[in-house]
Structure 1
Amino acid sequence: MEIAVILSGEHKTLPPSEVKNLLEAENAKYRIKYHRDKLMTLEVQADKIPTLSRLAYTHEISQIISKTTPENLDKTIKSIPWERLIEGDFAVRAKKIEKIPIDSPIIEKKVGAMIKEGHPHFQVNLENPRTLIRLIIEKDKIFITKRLYKIDKKHFNSAKPHKRPFFYPGSMSPKLARCMVNLSGVREGERLLDPFCGTGGILIEAGIIGVKVIGADIDPKMIKGAEENLKYYGIRDYELIRADARSLKLEKPVKAIVTDPPYGISASTQGEKQEKLYREFLKTAKYNLQEDGRICIATPHYLQLENITDEFKIKEKHAIRMHKSLTRIIYTLEKSGGSYHCK
């Protein structure tokens, strides 16, 4: 099936990388046919598409019905067998990927009327249609699609750190936490460890999508708070351990380690101490990770993992500017011996 993925514009490299890593984790056969800014189109196995509903930096996933140009839109709409595609009531919505002089409400009304004219029995529902026909518009092309999944923005808003039962400053946003879980390649039913779990933000996002989670923290207050948060979000398959990440040794290795270790603002005084923390943690992480497992870790920009570890090879590296004095680096790491490439 050919699908269109409308990516968020929050970051240049994270959204497409999240899509690719998730499909690869599911052993899906796919081919990227087109990628420009916020739009990616792919040929992918139909049975693997539902897993994309767990993406963070994506707005929608749609089935591509047809591709056309603005000049040929009317002709294309009339040629489509809508009776095979529209179930129940429907609505038409347009999404402009770039700034172009096209009035979205006008084109939506026009295409909706054309579909209705050819199929008078179809019912229009502009509030909550069962079938949403999405027109994805670029300057020289229009993708006519049927929406399959809309990513739940409400969750990422309601799960913000300050809205959880237990809050501590400096917690990662749920959207970035979910993205890191996806970059790690962990699948539903597999095990994930966050050895610096804090208030449990990463564990929450992994648990919601059916991953078995293990959290560790040296601070007993964090362990208690993380448990409170996990229970609040209905996550039951978890294990919490009070432990120092540098000496933690699990009985059984996990598929993924996803974590956001603590760091200070000062690169000069804190940097040396933090480098030692990361180095010692990564040595232990190698013991706790399966041979085919992966680490996804956030670091401040002044800590370059390339210079800290030879236990792991860097698969990907993404920079996220937080403010003028801090950029976060999101690394994905694999055990040494694998291929080495940065994206």
Structure 2
Amino acid sequence: MIYTFKLSGENLNLSKFEVETLFKTKCTRRGKIATCNLTQAPKKLKEIADRSALIKKIYKNGVKVWEFKQGRYKLREPMARPAFHPTGMKPKMARMLVNLTGAKKEILDPFCGIGATLIEAGVLGLKVSGSDYDPRMLDRTKTNLKYYKIKPKKIFKADATKLSEHLKKNSVEAITCDPPYGQSSTTSDKNLRNLFRTFMIEAHKVLKKKGRLVIIIPSKLKIPGLIPKVHGGLTRQIVVLEK
């Protein structure tokens, strides 16, 4: 059955990719409209659409069958969380990152900060694990997860560039993160490349086959040998890598 999707977001190719990941299909896009051939029953289609971050409306034969509910993230906005930090990610962005992984059962954020991605993954019913090098951030993550009644699988202190020392190889279904690397003006481009490259190697070790890493990196960063699916912005880009 042919459905049309009205997309939102600054990067419409990214919005299309979210649709394709959620509905496990290929779409064509013209402007803000994506067209897909779907096999899901109407009830299942609406359940999947409710998980999305970047779909605005869905139509079947010109009739609207689903619409994004305004205010759905209000209770999970940064200022609504009991443990606040100025770098906290907005829930819509966190939801998008989780969706792009295609995770079905569980997800890991090795730079979990105050737990924004883990909150959204938990709301979606995924098992969540998170790590951070800063124990204060881990305390904030635990506070926020408890507030939203999300019981994590594992929250632990770790250097993300040594991830395989804490997790078994080929054990993680999906990883998403927004590393703080590059936020300091004193970090050179060379050191920045080395940090990201080392982390990506570690992520590859612990990911299961076909598992995805969805990561935000500075747009200026060029890593030799890396040929990712990139959705760019002016200062940062979202990279999707599959093992």
Q: TM-score, normalised by structure 2?
A: 0.88
The SS at the match of 2:161 is coil
Query: Hey, what does 2:240 align to over in structure 1?
Result: 332
What secondary structure is seen at the aligned counterpart in 2 of 1:236?
Answer: coil
The residue aligned with 1:7 is: 7
Q: Which of 39, 44, 47 is 2:38 aligned to?
A: 44
The SS at the match of 2:71 is helix
Cα-to-partner distance string for 1:173-209 (whole Å, 9 max, x where unaligned) = 221211111111112xx12111111011111111111
How far residue 3 of structure 1 moved from its aligned partner, in angstroms, is 2.0
Give 1:46 deviation, angstroms: 2.2
2:52 equivalent among 52, 55, 64: 55
Q: What amino acid is aligned across from residue 191 of structure 1 in structure 2?
A: E
Q: For residue 223 of structure 1, what is the aligned residue in structure 2?
A: 138
- Report the equivalent of 2:163: 248
Return the offset for 1:271.
3.0
CA distance in 1, matches of 2:198, 2:9: 36
2:113, 2:138 within 8 Å by CA — same for their partners in 1? Answer: yes
Q: Which residue of 2 aligns with 1:19?
A: 19
Q: 1:229 to 1:59 in 2, by over 3 A?
A: same
**How far apart are the structure 2 equivalents of 1:31 and 1:300?**
28
Residue correspondences, number: 237
Say which SS state the counterpart of residue 198 (structure 1) adopts. Answer: coil
Q: By how many angstroms is 1:247 displaced? A: 1.4
Superposition pairs for residues 226-305 of structure 1, below 5 Å?
A: 226-249=141-164, 250-251=167-168, 253-265=171-183, 269-305=187-223
Query: In structure 2, what is the Cα distance between the partners aligned to 1:150 and 1:210?
Result: 22
Task: Give the equivalent residue in structure 2 for 1:167.
Answer: 84
- What is the CA distance between 1:158 and its match in structure 2? 3.2
Pick one of 96, 103, 109 that aligns with 1:179. Answer: 96
Contact 2:133 2:159 in 1 (8 A): yes
1:213 aligns with 2:128: yes
Mapped to 1, the partners of 2:93 and 2:22 lie a distance apart of: 15
Please tell me the residue identity of whatever aligns with 1:42. Answer: C
Residues 100-119 of structure 1 mapped to structure 2, 5 A cutoff: none
Is 1:317 aligned to residue 214 of structure 2? no
User: Could you tell me how far apart the structure 1 residues matched to 2:9 and 2:198 are?
Assistant: 36
* Identity between Structure 1 and Structure 2 (%): 38
Which residue of the partner structure matches residue 340 of structure 1?
A: none
List alignment gaps of at least 5 residues for structure 2.
none
Distance 1:165 1:317 in 2: 34
For the pair shown, which has the larger CA radius of gyration, 1 or 2? 1
Larger RCO (CA within 8 A; separation ≥ 6): 2
Whole-Å separation in 1 of the counterparts to 2:121 and 2:144 = 13
In 1, the alpha carbon distance for the partners of 2:149 and 2:16 equals: 30
Secondary structure in 2 aligned to 1:6?
strand
- How far is the alpha carbon of 1:171 from its aligned partner? 2.4
Q: How does 1:62-141 map to 2 (within 5 A)?
A: 62=59, 64-65=60-61
